[in-house]
């Protein structure tokens, strides 16, 4: 059913309202009054069936918790723990009386993120942009000039070595066999662990021949167990439908070679991409590319999109501009990018690339401000959750990118309100 609403209009005999005890000039309470919760509830309630199921949790509670979570960079469990301890967070989410326990389970946040999807998250991002306009952090005219850049959002996987991939694949197959009672001649459970340790030890000692021999032995163990599980699945059609996605992933890991394209780098996240960003301390990163557009002034995030397939930066610009204009409702006239966007193919906007010549001093000054997006991305990674994405699959990448933009805007709004009310 559609979400219920938190109703604290009636007084309580032995409890005082939080609004009578907390600091009314606190930036979080000021921001809570600016956000149009009713508009968000109308947009989000459309994803629920009004006749089936139990009533969902209040929209303001869920949206408020997601904002606070990505503002602070906390996990689901940590966020709910802090929510119970912090009365300002409770007041921000619409509770006027102190709550001694959280009204939802951490798993509810997972279900809500899946239900809302990327489109509804962008509606929330648009609400933060509207608050920025109402607080005069930016004006609508400021939104016509923007800065674009891409970064890599790393996935929550270990560094993908062949030995570790074979070992994790073998463990997954053994678990499937035990769950579905598939008889295996041998599991190689302890022998594979020994070969994994030997491969790491030999590689650390620069004894590469012995290390490769241990990796080949691990691959042999994996091949034997994989063939047995595949034969058992062929005899049982229901079992085959159930475990065929895992078998395809493990078969790809088993058969892929060093120079293959579109390799699998994780058993539980098959859509992870290997991207080289040219960093001295980290030659390769594993995740997906994220396109970010911010306002030219103040660093307000207008859109943040996960882009799969590792496209060229210039090819991501058109889609990112369209997304930013949808979120803000303001057309972008002028955008500043780095040299990686050469060959973007956009002719209906003014696109200024770093290092361009024959420009006036005014436009040179504007281009020099393009670098301001770098610390914004750094804060989204360190203070938010852009540095490591814990949400699964491609849809998790898209949702996490937008939520990181929301968290950045909330931090900017709170700092701006605190300066105004000081």
Domain edges within the chain: 134-158+273-401, 162-255
CB 312 within 8 A of CB 298: no
The pLDDT of residue 359 is 83
Mean residue pLDDT across the chain: 91
Strand partners, 146: 295, 335
CA 17: distance to chain centroid? Answer: 36
The pLDDT of residue 258 is 86
The pLDDT of residue 81 is 95
At residue 151, the 3 state secondary structure works out as: strand
Q: Which residue has the higher pLDDT, 9 or 363?
A: 363
If you average pLDDT over residues 358-379, what whole number do you get? 89
Asked if the model's pLDDT at residue 28 lies above 90, the reply is: yes
CA–CA gap between residue 354 and residue 342 (Å, rounded): 10
The pLDDT of residue 281 is 79
Rounded to the nearest 5 degrees, what angle is found at the Cα of 402, between the Cα atoms of 158 and 76?
60
Asked if the model's pLDDT at residue 92 lies above 90, the reply is: yes
CB 59 within 8 A of CB 44: yes
If you average pLDDT over residues 39-66, what whole number do you get? 86
Asked if the model's pLDDT at residue 6 lies above 90, the reply is: no
The pLDDT of residue 282 is 80
The pLDDT of residue 57 is 87
The pLDDT of residue 14 is 75
CB 266 within 8 A of CB 272: yes
Cα dihedral sign, 220-224-227-229: negative
Long-range contacts of 76-85 (CB under 8 A, 24+ apart): 76/106, 76/109, 76/110, 77/106, 79/109, 80/104, 80/106
CA–CA gap between residue 396 and residue 398 (Å, rounded): 5
Asked if the model's pLDDT at residue 403 lies above 80, the reply is: yes
**What percentage of the chain exceeds 70 in pLDDT?**
100
pLDDT band at 343 (very low <50, low <70, confident <90, very high): confident
Read off the tokens for 51: 């006749």
CA–CA gap between residue 366 and residue 362 (Å, rounded): 6
Asked if the model's pLDDT at residue 356 lies above 90, the reply is: no
At residue 152, the 3 state secondary structure works out as: strand
CA–CA gap between residue 77 and residue 69 (Å, rounded): 10
Residues 6+ apart with CB under 8 A from 252: 263, 264, 270
Which H/E stretch holds residue 374? helix 373-382
**How confident is the model over 131-180, as pLDDT tens digits?**
999 999 999 999 999 999 999 999 999 989 999 999 999 999 999 999 99
Strand partners, 350: 334
Whole-angstrom CA distances from 193 to 125, 190, 219 are: 47, 5, 12
This prediction has a pTM of: 0.91
Asked if the model's pLDDT at residue 348 lies above 90, the reply is: no
CA–CA gap between residue 64 and residue 222 (Å, rounded): 46
Asked if the model's pLDDT at residue 351 lies above 80, the reply is: yes
The pLDDT of residue 11 is 78
Strand partners, 303: 293
Q: Burial of 358 by CB count in 10 Å (0-12 exposed, 13-18 middle, 19+ buried)?
A: exposed
Read off the tokens for 313: 């930066």
Asked if the model's pLDDT at residue 422 lies above 80, the reply is: no
Which H/E stretch holds residue 68? helix 59-72
CA–CA gap between residue 158 and residue 199 (Å, rounded): 16
CB 80 within 8 A of CB 100: no
Lowest mean pLDDT among 33-37, 72-76, 265-269, 279-283: 279-283
Residues 6+ apart with CB under 8 A from 221: 166, 170, 188, 191, 192, 195
**Which of 409, 415, 413, 412 lies closest to 324 in space, CA to CA?**
409
């Amino acid at each position: 059913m559609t979400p219920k609403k938190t109703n604290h209009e009636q007084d309580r005999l032995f409890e005082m309202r939080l609004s009578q005890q907390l600091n009314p000039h606190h930036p979080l309470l000021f921001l809570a009054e600016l956000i149009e919760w009713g508009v968000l509830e109308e947009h989000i309630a459309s994803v629920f069936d009004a006749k089936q199921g139990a009533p969902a949790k209040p929209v303001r509670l869920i949206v408020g918790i997601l904002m606070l979570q990505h503002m602070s960079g906390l996990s689901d469990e940590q966020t709910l723990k802090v929510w119970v301890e912090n009365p300002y967070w409770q007041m921000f989410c619409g509770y006027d009386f102190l709550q001694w326990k959280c009204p939802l389970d951490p798993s509810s946040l997972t279900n809500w993120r899946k239900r809302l999807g990327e489109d509804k998250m962008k509606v929330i991002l648009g609400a933060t942009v509207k608050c920025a306009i109402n607080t005069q952090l930016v004006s609508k005219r400021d939104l016509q000039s923007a800065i674009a850049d891409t970064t890599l959002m790393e996935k929550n996987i270990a560094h993908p070595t062949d030995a570790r991939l074979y070992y994790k694949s073998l463990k997954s197959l053994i678990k499937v066999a035990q769950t579905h009672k598939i008889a295996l001649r041998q599991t190689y459970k302890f022998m594979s662990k020994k070969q994994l340790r030997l491969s790491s030890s030999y590689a650390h000692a620069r004894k590469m021949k012995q290390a490769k021999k241990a990796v080949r032995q691990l691959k042999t163990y994996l091949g034997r167990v994989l063939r047995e599980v595949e034969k058992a699945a062929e005899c049982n059609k229901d079992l085959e439908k159930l475990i065929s996605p895992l078998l395809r992933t493990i078969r790809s890991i088993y058969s892929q070679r060093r120079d293959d394209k579109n390799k699998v780098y994780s058993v539980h996240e098959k859509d992870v991409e290997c991207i080289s960003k040219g960093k001295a301390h980290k030659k390769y990163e594993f995740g997906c590319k994220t396109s970010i557009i911010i306002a030219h002034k103040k660093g307000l995030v207008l859109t943040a999109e996960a882009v799969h397939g590792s496209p060229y930066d210039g090819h991501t610009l058109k889609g990112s501009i369209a997304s930013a204009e949808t979120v803000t409702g303001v057309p972008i006239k002028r955008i500043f990018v780095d040299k990686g966007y050469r060959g973007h193919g956009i002719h209906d906007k003014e696109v200024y690339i770093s290092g361009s010549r024959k420009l006036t001093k005014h436009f040179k000054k504007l281009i020099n401000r393009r670098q301001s997006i770098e610390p914004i991305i750094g804060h989204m990674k360190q203070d938010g959750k852009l540095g490591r994405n814990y949400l699964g699959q491609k849809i998790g990448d898209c949702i996490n990118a937008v939520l990181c933009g929301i968290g950045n805007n909330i931090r900017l709004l709170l700092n701006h309100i605190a300066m105004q009310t000081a």
